[in-house]
Structure 1
């Protein structure tokens, strides 16, 4: 289980993104996983469950996380841009594979955990030809629809939105430097603090699953390899900028998974998304909070990659 992306891909713009591939590289069904904030592409919620499916899983480091370049100067971080980067990679992969006679289905299933759910929805809305199924896990709704962001933090984001993107990014990166330090401090990856991922006491059973804390710790170490710029960019992309897509454009069949004990993104968030998305159903999971990604992973894969159980 490596600590950084196993591939890099250079976009036509010249920016490089880190890509982590898991599962069977020749499986027909591709599942894209969009990581939380902070996060990186190295995270697999449950490798033993993933291995029960005949899928090829792809994950992408968003700008300034893991092995991905930061955005060039003068560019606002954007949910839509992160989704477009993924679509570009998938289309390029399809072209390359077609040339050597590999013809997979042109559509993928996409999953996003927490902040990654916004990117998953943006990919489905902006690139409907690429996505057939979506699952969002513990993804908070827009703050103006279901208030969840501390008002003083939203005020800060509103102020940062009035600055140049470079000034906003550098101010927020500096403010979040202590997160990077907290992740680097423990000797063992399993001891990395998880509060920044929305962990709460109700998640104890989910985090007691074999390897769960180590996988999260490894992801966080990778997320902060370049400092706090990645998480700063992510936060600005959804608090200081428009999200860049319409919920009504998500035609793909969507599963909304939330933990009933989630202090960040509980029932009200799930209900809001169910109303906002054209074809969505909700699965509320009792006895867990923001770490619902662990117990729900099997159900999520069954939704985004139906009919792929290994015989």
Structure 2
């Protein structure tokens, strides 16, 4: 396991899983557990290196911050450079969870074929028409095969949000999760980590 600042960035990151694996997956989420392994037992069964990048709410905020760019756009550009350095000319997987989903989408758009698998977990749809138009434009340029996982009764990211993203991606599969471990019906990454890894790190079961 490694931990430290990402090159050319102030974002802390941590690697877990198989250090020398051919397959690398970048995990983007915000909150207190951003650098933790969602399910160590599940991760251990994969021959994949997982790089969790710690984000804050400020990193993924929408208001314009510098020369017209939003915080999310600046964060995505920086992380895309980090991913490009770390992927060693091999395609990688990217996972975006909750409000960090927009950053994951932007990273995938920045890197094009460098990201061949994308997973969006409990990502809410944009809450304004303008925001929706901007995200839709980015989604149109994402070529990665995308898995969208939402909780059936998730208060922020249920079926309508899943359909919104699925309809705007070139290659997308939507899966709704009927039950979650959260009492508020929110979909938690640990609940679907095995399914996420089967998509973003296919063929890596030990």
Distance (Å, rounded) in 2 between the aligned partners of 1:64 and 1:8: 18
Q: Which residue of 2 aligns with 1:161?
A: none
Q: Which runs of 5+ in 1 are unaligned?
A: 69-73, 95-103, 146-237
SS of equivalent residue, structure 1 residue 91: helix
Residues 28 and 10 (structure 1 numbering): CA distance in 2 closer, same or farther, change over 3 Å?
Answer: closer
Q: Which residue of 1 aligns with 2:50?
A: 57
Q: Which runs of 5+ in 2 are unaligned?
A: 60-64
**Alignment match of 1:8 (pick from 2, 5, 13):** 5
Distance (Å, rounded) in 1 between the aligned partners of 2:80 and 2:198: 22
Distance (Å, rounded) in 2 between the aligned partners of 1:63 and 1:48: 26
Distance (Å, rounded) in 1 between the aligned partners of 2:33 and 2:77: 17
SS of equivalent residue, structure 1 residue 258: strand
State the Cα distance separating 1:261 from its structure 2 match: 1.5
C-alpha contact 2:4 2:14 (8 A) present in aligned 1: yes
State the Cα distance separating 1:93 from its structure 2 match: 3.2
TM-score (norm 2): 0.83
Pair member with larger Rg: 1
Q: Does 1:78 align with 2:71?
A: yes
The residue correspondences of 1:1-311 to structure 2 (distance < 5 A) are: 6-11=3-8, 15-36=9-30, 38-39=31-32, 41-62=34-55, 75=66, 77-94=70-87, 106-144=90-128, 246-288=138-180, 289-310=185-206
TM-score (norm 1): 0.56
State the Cα distance separating 1:63 from its structure 2 match: 6.1
Of Structure 1 and Structure 2, the greater strand share is in 2
State the Cα distance separating 1:18 from its structure 2 match: 1.1
Distance (Å, rounded) in 2 between the aligned partners of 1:274 and 1:127: 20
Of Structure 1 and Structure 2, the greater helix share is in 1
CA-to-partner distance for each residue in 1:34-56, whole Å, 9 max, x for gaps?
A: 013x3464122211111111110
Distance (Å, rounded) in 2 between the aligned partners of 1:290 and 1:45: 15
Distance (Å, rounded) in 1 between the aligned partners of 2:90 and 2:75: 20
CA-to-partner distance for each residue in 1:70-114, whole Å, 9 max, x for gaps?
A: xxxx636422222222221122335xxxxxxxxx55210001110
Q: Which residue of 1 aligns with 2:62?
A: none
Bigger relative contact order, structure 1 or 2, given CA contacts below 8 A and separation 6+? 1
Residues 47 and 245 (structure 1 numbering): CA distance in 2 closer, same or farther, change over 3 Å?
Answer: farther
State the Cα distance separating 1:116 from its structure 2 match: 1.8
